[in-house]
Amino acid sequence: MKFSTAGIDCFLQKIEPDAVPITAAITAATNAKPAVITVDDATEILPEMLVTVTGTNTALDGRSYIAEDVTANAVTLRGSDLSQNTSTVTAGTLTGIEDADMLRFCLSSYERAVDAADAIDVSTFCGSESLAGTPLPGNVSIEGFIDYSVEAYNEWLKGVVDGQQRLFHIVLPKDIGDILLVITPSGITETFAVNEAAAFSGEAVINQQPVYMVS
């Protein structure tokens, strides 16, 4: 589906060092698309809440999803895919992110760049040979206008200093879907020019392959 950029919303996760996270212990997961996970207590996990998964030793780990079909002890992870998994999940942690901790970030541009994977040299004395490498998740570049009263902008500044991973949520227009990325902000450039709006550009490393939930 083709679409314009009009109506895109972006959100950056706020990190509170002393906050008590919303967590639930994972005891099982279905090898399906989407995966349904069983937890000890899902009462604090709300439908449409952004959640992250760790400790399952599967492709779910380190990525974020949207919770749906939440019951007392089960959560469907929209955007997940465990259909190729052959192991049995018996442990892990589900962490919920409250809506108040996702800060709206009004940007003028967003770009994800993925470099071509480096070839893997498997040459021997018998001849030269190489294999295709695995592409890295890539990097993010953003641009906007400086406003120190915007909480998301100041959170990006904090992220460049503290080096912690943050969730970046892109909501596409016209109910097309969502993109979830786990990033580490790595840089920012502030530009002040005569008779022009104060602007910034930022860079971040993507820590896991993004989760695309698009129609």
Give pLDDT tens digits for 84-118.
999 999 999 999 999 999 999 999 999 999 987 77
Q: Which residues contact 52 (CB under 8 A, 6 or more apart)?
A: 62, 63, 64, 65, 94, 95, 97, 167, 182
Q: Where residue 187 falls among pLDDT bands split at 50, 70, 90?
A: very high
- pLDDT (average), residues 45-52: 95
| Integer CA distances (angstroms), 101 to 16, 67, 169, in order | 9, 16, 12
With a cut of 80, say whether residue 198 has pLDDT above it: yes
The Cα 204–Cα 168 span in angstroms is 10
Q: Average pLDDT, whole number, for the chain?
A: 93
Q: What angle do CA 90, 94, 100 make, to 5 degrees?
A: 175
- Decide: helix, strand or coil at residue 101: helix
Q: What is the pTM of this model?
A: 0.89
With a cut of 80, say whether residue 55 has pLDDT above it: yes
The per-residue pLDDT for range 62-90, each reduced to its tens digit, is: 999 999 999 999 999 999 999 999 999 99
Q: Which two tokens stand for residue 132?
A: 């295709």
- Which domains are seen in the chain, by residue range? 9-13+102-117+127-214 (2.30.110.20), 22-100 (2.40.30.180)
Q: Which residue do the tokens 């990033």 mark?
A: 183
The Cα 109–Cα 203 span in angstroms is 12
- Which pairing describes strands 74-78 and 36-39: parallel, antiparallel, or unpaired? antiparallel
With a cut of 90, say whether residue 120 has pLDDT above it: no
Assess contact for 48 and 212: CB atoms under 8 A. Answer: no
- Taken as a whole, the chain contains a residue count of 215
The per-residue pLDDT for range 4-21, each reduced to its tens digit, is: 999 999 999 999 988 889
| Integer CA distances (angstroms), 124 to 48, 117, 133, in order | 53, 21, 18
Q: pLDDT at position 130, please? A: 80
The Cα 64–Cα 101 span in angstroms is 14
- pLDDT (average), residues 114-123: 79
Q: Where residue 131 falls among pLDDT bands split at 50, 70, 90?
A: confident
Q: Where residue 123 falls among pLDDT bands split at 50, 70, 90?
A: confident
Q: Which residues contact 11 (CB under 8 A, 6 or more apart)?
A: 102, 103, 104, 105, 152, 168, 169, 170, 171
The Cα 30–Cα 177 span in angstroms is 23
- Could you tell me which residues are beta bridge partners of residue 185? 204
Q: Where residue 180 falls among pLDDT bands split at 50, 70, 90?
A: very high
DSSP 59: T
